[in-house]
Amino acid sequence: MEYYYSGKAPCLALALAMAAAAIAVTPCAAQNSPQDFVNLHNAARNDVGVGPVSWDDSVAAFARSYAAQRAGDCALQHSGGGPNHYGENLFWGSAGKDWSASDAVAGSWVKEKQWYDHGSNSCSAPQGKSCGHYTQVVWRKSTAIGCARVVCNNGGVFITCNYNPPGNFNGQSPY
């Protein structure tokens, strides 16, 4: 980057140039707020004509508690939904990247839409893949979510979203 001095207000010009340089090279922080999770879910739901979800502090408390339990091992092991029988999506990202809500929701779960056929309410995912995360995201009757993200002891990232009421009932279409 080149800097030009105009001869006027050198301190201001230098400060502005340095600020522009800092903005140009500083990566954006990962977005993991409750609203980020809600917006990502609602974008996918809107695409198929399903009403929005909203953030629920009780569901989020459950998600935070479970994420804290997984911090020791980052294992993709379902919680069982707890006493309230919440639905659940899990994401794990390896150490070395600042995995975000967008990586989990849009980059993983919603990406499964490519294998879901709404007409037949079936999944044609390749071996080792599924559509169940996607269908939970867009499950019409799931109207409240709570999500949590934790950096695990091994440096990986564990993200969980829980859904109330739960979805993915056999034989039922998500929307």
The predicted model gives 91-113 an average pLDDT of 97
Report the pLDDT value the prediction gives residue 31, as an integer from 0 to 100: 86
d(Cα 66, Cα 152) in Å, to the nearest integer? Answer: 12
Question: Which of 99, 96, 103, 104 minimizes the C-alpha distance to 162?
Answer: 104
Report the pLDDT value the prediction gives residue 30, as an integer from 0 to 100: 60
d(Cα 22, Cα 50) in Å, to the nearest integer? Answer: 41
What's the gap between Cα 32 and its chain centre? 7
**Burial (Cβ within 10 Å: 0-12, 13-18, ≥19) of residue 122:** exposed
Hey, how many other C-beta atoms are within 10 angstroms of the C-beta on 118?
Answer: 13
d(Cα 151, Cα 92) in Å, to the nearest integer? Answer: 10
- What residue spans of the chain are helical by DSSP H? 10-25, 34-47, 57-70, 101-104, 132-137
The predicted model gives 85-108 an average pLDDT of 97
Burial 31-48 (b: 16+ CB within 10 A, else e): ebebebbbbbbbebbeee
pLDDT over 70 at 68, yes or no: yes
pLDDT over 70 at 13, yes or no: no
Report the pLDDT value the prediction gives residue 150, as an integer from 0 to 100: 98
35-53 pLDDT tens trace: 999 999 999 999 999 999 9
114 neighbors 47 (Cβ within 8 angstroms): no
pLDDT over 60 at 122, yes or no: yes
19-23, 42-46, 53-57, 93-97: which has the minimum mean pLDDT? 19-23
Full-model pTM: 0.82
